[in-house]
Amino acid sequence: MTILYILLAIFLLGVLITVHEFGHFIAARLTGIAVKEFAVGFGPKLIKWRSKKHDTLFALRPIPLGGYCMFYGDETDPEGVNDPRAFDRAKVWKRALTVFSGPLMNFVLAFVLAVVLMAGYGMTVVQPYLDTVEAGMPAQAAGLLPGDVLLSAGGEALPIGDASALTAAIAKLAPGESLPLTVRRGEETITVSIAPMWDEAEGRNRIGVGIKAYGPLQSGQWLPAAFDSCVYASTVILKSLGALFTTGEGIQDAAGPIGVVQLVAEQTRTGGLETFLNLAVIISINLGLVNLLPIPGLDGSRLVFFLIEAIRRKPVSRKIETAVHLTGYALLLGLMAFFTFQDVGRLLGG
């Protein structure tokens, strides 16, 4: 696992979390809620500048594992409670939209990355076709070429997506029997008769072709395929979270930032860009879904308080809400420490 892949994995986590915080930021701007500070990274400020128009401090910090969007008067800014720009003074629907937009941006990013993944690597089942034709074998002698689309063998149509149907048809032949094979080459349909050759090494008749039954997605299929892949990933993640919280199943496999960085680095090193994009989609969806859970300190918990406020037509006591969120932060930090300890144990254990 080289340093390049580790840095790439850290960069990915930083981007996913920054995009999440940017969702809060852009929704606040659109609804007129003031943002006190928007930071990329954690730690001391390396670069900072202030927007004169909106009085927002922008900061770049050295630890690239995330960032944050601070509002006036939130639990991290107690001195801003009485500021007329305080977050709590905004209408409840504006606050709810601002909070929800963080996870929403993770879902949007996941979909965009999934579209890129499908455009570059997406495959779908197609009519079987010849991928390779071996020199000196019956298929070459019959004039077959790579790219020929297989239509029928022995008078029976070959089904879409089935790369083994031709092999099965060859296996049914009696000794010395030839196989009528119909293929499409461009606009032309060609029928040939091929006598298979017995392959002692493999113990079967062969005509010397490699067959594939999948091909790249067409541009019109990218969006639906990306959407389906995101829905599938979300379903799997939700089932895993349900099992984790109800039975504890998977707790031993859960990972903190160190474990995620290790996973992304190792998988990207062996799988390349396709694997990196796929992991980015999954992690981004996971980040969005987890943040929507009604756990104190997460966005889902805030949305619950906003729902209560909308129903009661008055907010929950600020002291109670702040205490809940701060307690949640403490529990989340403890959980993060546990997973980090578990990650380090895995690394040391090989």
Edge-to-edge strands, sheet with 57-60:
47-50, 57-60, 35-42, 63-71
Residue type, 278: N
Residue type, 41: G
| 21 catalytically annotated | yes
CA separation for the pair 57, 35 (Å, rounded): 8
CA separation for the pair 128, 136 (Å, rounded): 22
- What 70-77 contacts at long range (C-beta under 8 Å, 24+ apart), as own/partner pairs, is 70/35, 70/36, 70/37, 70/38, 70/39, 71/28, 71/33, 71/34, 71/35, 71/36, 72/34, 72/36, 75/322, 75/325, 75/326, 77/36
CA separation for the pair 297, 324 (Å, rounded): 7
CA 13 to chain centre: 12
Please give the structure tokens belonging to residue 112.
Answer: 């965009």
Task: Supply φ then ψ for residue 43, to 5 degrees.
Answer: 100, -170
CA 85 → CA 22, 55, 96, 320, 338, distances in Å?
Answer: 19, 11, 16, 21, 37
- CB under 8 Å to 153, separation ≥6 — which residues? 165, 166, 169, 170, 179, 180, 181, 182
Residue type, 335: L
Q: Kindly state the greatest CA–CA separation across the chain.
A: 93
Please give the structure tokens belonging to residue 277.
Answer: 């994009």
Q: CB–CB of 321/304 below 8 Å?
A: no
Residues classed as catalytic = 21
